[in-house]
Structure 1
Amino acid sequence: MIGVEWVRTMARYNTWQNDQVMTAIRRLPHAELTADRGAFFGSVLGTLNHIVWADMLWMSRFDGGPGPEVSQKQSAGTFPTGGAWEAARFKLDGRIRIWAAGLREIDLVGDLTWHSADDNATYRRSVGLCVTQLFNHQAHHRGQVHAMLTAIGVDPWVTDLPMLPGN
């Protein structure tokens, strides 16, 4: 389904996109960052927090490291400020890139089994599908952030994968 070079490219893309988000939100007053904008996770910060929460969850399944300490329902409130989110995001992007750099093709073969505490169910899905979900989920919610920021007058950043520096 996917290969290690695709995963590494997506890890680089994720870092690039998050760096641009960081630049965009640094200019926002806290009230703008936390205002309810009608998105599924409420605010720009709530949505960004949810992405970190989900990335931590998936990474804990992939690399055996720590996962989030709260449930999905609490994910929007994980980091109370843009600066706290930025520090966590920076660290997590490094974790994702280190994991991707160490992948071998065989690591993307077979199934991943996990138990979801949020819905008290056990799942078994292909590793490739789960890794794809990590990156697809990020792009989906970053798109929501992009739309919210655009609506309040923040210049949108480049999101096109072919524009990824170094390609």
Structure 2
Amino acid sequence: MTNKDYVLMMARYNLWQNENLLSTTDSLSSSDRRLDRGAFFGSIEKTLSHLYWADRIWMHRFAGTPEPAGGIPESARNIKNWQSFREERKTFDERILQWAHEVDASWFDGDLSWFSGAMGCQVTKPKNMLVIQLFNHQTHHRGQVHAMLTAAGVKPSDTDVPFMPKHFLTL
């Protein structure tokens, strides 16, 4: 189902698309980033904050990176300084890519167990399914951000995997 090649492609895509959306978001004012636009988490900034939090939760489970504080309700309130967030996000995207390069093929076999705050119980699922969840969740919320940016009058670049710039394919 999932394998190292899939993880590498999606980690590269993640890095590319976060740069795409965040650089587009840079053109908005702070108030425009924080404006409630009717998405699940409300604003562009809150959606990006939640996405960053969720990526850190999954990487904590997968690779033992530091666990972010709080749960889903708090996940949308983690951006205090836009520029600092931009730098942290890029660094973490590079960490995801590093993990993709380093993960052993055998890691995808078997299950992963954790306590799910969202479900309020211990959960055990196949690792290969959970990797799909990491990248699918990113795509879901980046789609929301893309729609909010478009509604705000700014247009991100391409988002289709086949149009990923060649230099990302070599990272």
Q: Which residue of 2 is the match for residue 7 of structure 1?
A: 7
Give 1:118 shift. Answer: 3.9
RMSD over equivalenced CA pairs, Å: 1.1
The answer on whether the counterparts of 1:60 and 1:66 sit within 8 Å (CA) in structure 2 is yes
Aligned residues: 167
Residue 157, structure 1, aligned to residue 157, structure 2: yes
**Which whole-Å deviations, capped at 9, do the CAs of 1:119-162 have from their partners, x for residues lacking one?**
32111101000001000000000000000000111013210000
Q: Which residue of 2 is the match for residue 44 of structure 1?
A: 44
TM-score by length of 2: 0.94
* SS of 2:115 mapped into structure 1: strand
CA distance in 2, matches of 1:119, 1:3: 27
* Structure 2 counterparts to residues 103-122 of structure 1, below 5 A: 103-122=103-122
CA distance in 2, matches of 1:114, 1:44: 29
* SS of 2:76 mapped into structure 1: helix
| Deviation beyond 4 Å, 4+ runs, structure 1 | none
**1:8 is aligned with what amino acid?**
L
TM-score by length of 1: 0.96
Give 1:70 shift. Answer: 1.6
Q: Which residue of 2 is the match for residue 25 of structure 1?
A: 25
Give 1:114 shift. Answer: 0.6
- Please list every run of 5 or more consecutive structure 1 residues that lacks an aligned counterpart in the other structure: none
The answer on whether the counterparts of 2:20 and 2:156 sit within 8 Å (CA) in structure 1 is no
The answer on whether the counterparts of 1:30 and 1:81 sit within 8 Å (CA) in structure 2 is no
CA distance in 2, matches of 1:35, 1:126: 38
Q: Give the share of equivalent positions with the same residue, in percent.
A: 43
- Please list every run of 5 or more consecutive structure 2 residues that lacks an aligned counterpart in the other structure: none
